[in-house]
Chains A and B, each alone.
Chain A
């Protein structure tokens, strides 16, 4: 930033050529440097804080605002980073930033207002412990629902202890307290408190301790300081017993409380947090007793239902089997019945009856038909036969008339028979002495055979010639 050569207004300025803007800016800067020549300390509230490697924010009070710049080299020394609303005391010099046309307060150092060495120690230790995970919610132990014995780490003469005891007596006298008497302020307090916490942790089994309360009443920042010491924080961090801390008043926050598994505002609250309410527990036991009873009766009901389902299935099965067997028996009975002799007999009779009926019907039908047929045929054939007979009778009569032997006798032929009536046709038919009767046309002649002479064998022609002569 070039310092202007002229530090007073040039007398030749009026009425002459105007200044350039840069010239004016140079004049303003020079005036500022001259007017506020030393580094000043200013107290104010941080507003519009922006971290752009360098820090930019406004410092304000009720009546004014000033732009502040803190270069990275200076800002690095400030932990933790600023936040809007913080009261700070800054030290630096004023410059005119000609490019932006603004007056800037360039800061060399910054401290939080009201922060003494204890505050800084607190801030630095809590930042360091936080970085090491001391305050992580995940590592905090769950408090037991019903601690049998609670270690109370406090001063035996403190009101805090009486608060804890009263709360225990009121809520649940059965919970035992083991008081670890420690100094809660002064230069020796921190190591002894740390040692007490370690003792509780190491002997938790032997002492039967389920939880611990670390407490003290309100006091000045210095009085409470031992609970901000690193060794106490470390002891709490390593403590294997769930630990509740209640240090000072509600507005006081100590590192011990931040590391503890749970923070409470007052000793009474810490005791309440750990000691269950007897009447609540009794209530809980009552409800568990009821649930247990009803679960059993439900179990019984389920068993009963299972039994009845099974017995139903069983009887249904048996019933089905019985029915099948019953059907089987009925079947066999029917078959047997059919085989009984009387039944067979009856059936056969029935069958015979049916058959005979059928036969009868068939016969009746057939006979009816055949008889008609036969009768007509018979009539017809009789008729024919009669006709034939008539015809033949007629011709036989004619023939008979033609060849009647009587007519032959008229022509001189005779017929000789023996006494027994047999016709004599050959000489072989008679022997000497036989009596013969010869019929002629007008009567009979009786004679006796004297002998017989065979006829000479006539030639064929003789016979042919002779034959026709007979007729």
Chain B
């Protein structure tokens, strides 16, 4: 399948915070530049709002997670896989 940018809600939900911010930036720029039609502007706007909301949720997540990795660190440890 061709690598077209996927702007579906599902795809957006998987974006990293940084990528989401970058997407919002590009949404704003494309609307500001007036290079997209009004209807597209509206859907893009909705998408931007959704992305910002998601970013806010990420920030609000106060889990303070810390994982400890202690095993497999000896030089003779098992091989790592991707």
Residues on A close to B: CB < 8 A? 144-146, 148, 156, 165, 168-169, 172-174, 176-182, 191-192, 195-196, 198-199, 202-203, 205-206, 210, 278, 281-282, 284-285, 288-289, 291-293, 295-296, 298-300, 302-303
Contact = CB atoms under 8 A, between A and B. Distances in A.
Contacts of B60: 174
Contacts, number: 121
B26 to A, nearest CB: 11
A156 B73 contact: no
A289 B32 CA distance: 13
A296 B45 contact: yes
Nearest to A174: B61
A302 B73 CA distance: 60
Given A181-B69, A181-B70, A174 B49 contact: no
Nearest to B41: A299
Contact of A291 (B28, B64, B70, B74): B28
Contacts of B65: 176-177
B52 A292 contact: yes
B38 interface: yes
A161 to B, nearest CB: 9
A144 B21 CA distance: 12
Contacts of A292: 24, 27-28, 31, 45, 48-49, 52
Contacts of A295: 28, 31-32, 45
B59 A178 contact: no
A299 B35 CA distance: 9
Contacts of A182: 73
A299 B62 contact: no
Contacts of A291: 28, 32
22 contacts: A148-B17, A156-B68, A174-B59, A174-B62, A176-B66, A177-B66, A179-B69, A181-B70, A181-B73, A192-B73, A192-B75, A195-B73, A196-B73, A199-B69, A199-B72, A203-B82, A288-B24, A292-B45, A292-B52, A296-B41, A299-B38, A300-B41
B80 interface: yes
B56 A282 contact: yes
A177 B67 contact: yes
Interface string B31-59: 11010001001100100110010011011
Contacts of A289: 49, 52
